[in-house]
Structure 1
Amino acid sequence: MSATTTPQGIHRGQAGSAGPFRSKVPQVTAVFWVVKILTTGMGETTSDYLARVLGPVPAVASAGLLLAVALAAQARARRYVPAVYWTAVVMVSVFGTMAADVAHVALGVPYAVSAAAFALALAVVFGLWRQLEGTLAVESVSGGRREVLYWTAVMATFALGTAVGDLTAATLGWGYLPSGLLFAAMIVVPALAHRLLGASPVLTFWWAYVLTRPLGACFADWAGVDAHRGGLDLGTGPVSLALGVVIVGLVLRLSVDDRRGQERPAPVTA
């Protein structure tokens, strides 16, 4: 048996030969990480844009409804379908941003407190997932309870990452660009930890996964916000649109790749 390692040195766990296996999540490749980071940026700027255009309450309600529809479509899918999966990720990104922002703006919860709360929530989800399923390896997600736990964890990572990014950029006053560069440096650490120190591939995957959120969000904010906030003042709407176009193009590529080989061997998770 051998593990499949991504170009970043982060791999998704071990694969065995227990027969055909239809996973409902994508293989972790370089394109996966690129799309994931872009969705975090799009979620950040789209959330801000919708809150400004529609108002906070209608924006949250609309995002929540679209998220429910996207997750329902993902749940009904019998295997990984790139367009369905990444639509769900985008909506989790948008709604996760709103969840963290509502906690701060509407309820007055400091980002440090909300970040700690979301980190605790994520730890609880991971603990429950591990206890019930015996593994946190994402390639084992093929539906049912594991898929529910997977998406719950994904939502928690987005909310956590949003709070952490806003904590460094706003509360600590480091600004969006310096914060983005910080997280860009930090996301290399799990790859090096796996490659050089033999750290768990599951641990390093989720470690990097959490960091993609503040990384993408900080750079997107930097591009979208005005100069008084240290940004390029391109506007949250145009930034969201540009990111959306790139994401669609990459997802189309993933769809082509997916049609070339749909079945993967079942993972060994012991």
Structure 2
Amino acid sequence: MMRKLPHVTVVFWIIKIVATTLGETGGDLLAQTLKVGYLVSTVIFFAMFLIAVVFQLRSGRFHPAIFWTVIALTSTAGTTLSDYMNPTGGIGYTNGAIILASGLAIVFIVWWRTGQTLDVENLATFKGELLYWIAILFSNSLGTSSGDFLADDLGFGLRQSAFVLSAVMLVLLAAHYYTPINGMVLFWIAFVLTRPLGATVGDALSKPTERGGLNWGTTWTSAALLACLIGLILYQANQLRRRPLDPLPAPVHRRTGAPQAPNGTLITVSS
């Protein structure tokens, strides 16, 4: 089976941060600058996400353009959903973060009980990949709430929050290389934290100077980030042409060790 998800490398994290930063500014561009509103923007981005994720689930191998489009759309949908829940809906950043963290925990519990592998580089079944995308949607929404909680409720501000989150990411990187902490635990912590990192960087670029930003505006910031994202996707696609990803190992059920079909069902072998 061909791999449908990329290897987790330095390039992966660079593109992830750019995509999630674009999600922050792109969500604000539609909801605030164009005055569409957070509720309508959330519906629009969720519809776009569902279309893109269907293409991803039906694809037979890893396509950088499709994969990163889905990631960016989970970020934009997560941004508008979080902003609709928290300031607009009156839930507040703290409660919003708690709700979304609880939702993400439930997804991981369901994922664990299905027996699908949690190794995101070796997902080989439809069920496993579907759970992967649901977890990413929750994690990017949680990341938006977490970033706002850090910047506003805790009073760190935009730039200081970006520095704090960057420092935490460096700690996670060191933990990956120098501690026995499970790699998938570190991956998902980093995945969640790159979202508020992207959100604070996006706000620091686009917000007015009186709010601690550089006042680039959502339009110009989104355009610059989109150009950067397209360039990185083209680079990754060129690298794939030069060195294709290795095929996946045969999928097995995590708890039973039995082989699985691509749809996630167990394969029984009769004697």
Q: CA deviation at 1:122?
A: 0.9
More moved, 133-142 vs 144-153: 133-142
More moved, 140-149 vs 257-266: 257-266
Q: Higher strand proportion, which one? A: 1
Q: Distance in 1 between matches of 2:183 and 2:154?
A: 32
The residue number in structure 1 matching 2:223 is 241
Q: Distance in 2 between matches of 1:192 and 1:174?
A: 24
Q: Does the aligned pair in 1 maintain the 2:125–2:251 contact within 8 Å?
A: no
Matches within 5 A, 1:97-176: 97-176=79-158
Match of 1:217 among 199, 202, 205: 199
The residue number in structure 1 matching 2:36 is 55
Q: Does the aligned pair in 2 maintain the 1:133–1:146 contact within 8 Å?
A: no
Q: Does the aligned pair in 2 maintain the 1:70–1:88 contact within 8 Å?
A: yes
The residue number in structure 1 matching 2:57 is 75
Which has more radius of gyration? 2
Match of 1:31 among 11, 30, 44: 11
The residue number in structure 2 matching 1:87 is 69
Counterpart amino acid of residue 223 in structure 1:
L
Q: Does the aligned pair in 1 maintain the 2:4–2:62 contact within 8 Å?
A: yes
Gaps of 5+ in 1: 1-20
Aligned residues: 250
The residue number in structure 2 matching 1:14 is none
Q: Does the aligned pair in 2 maintain the 1:24–1:78 contact within 8 Å?
A: yes
The residue number in structure 2 matching 1:266 is 249
Counterpart amino acid of residue 261 in structure 1:
P
* Root mean square deviation of aligned Cα: 1.6
Counterpart amino acid of residue 13 in structure 2:
W
More moved, 133-142 vs 251-260: 133-142
Q: Distance in 2 between matches of 1:209 and 1:131?
A: 22
Q: Does the aligned pair in 1 maintain the 2:122–2:248 contact within 8 Å?
A: no
Q: Distance in 2 between matches of 1:65 and 1:130?
A: 28
The residue number in structure 2 matching 1:3 is none
Q: Distance in 2 between matches of 1:217 and 1:104?
A: 15
The residue number in structure 2 matching 1:43 is 23
Gaps of 5+ in 2: 255-271
C-alpha offsets along residues 184-223 of structure 1, whole Å, 9 cap, x if unaligned? 0011222222222211111111111111001111011001
Runs of 4+ aligned structure 1 residues displaced above 4 Å come to 267-270
Q: CA deviation at 1:23?
A: 2.0
TM-score, scaled relative to structure 1: 0.88
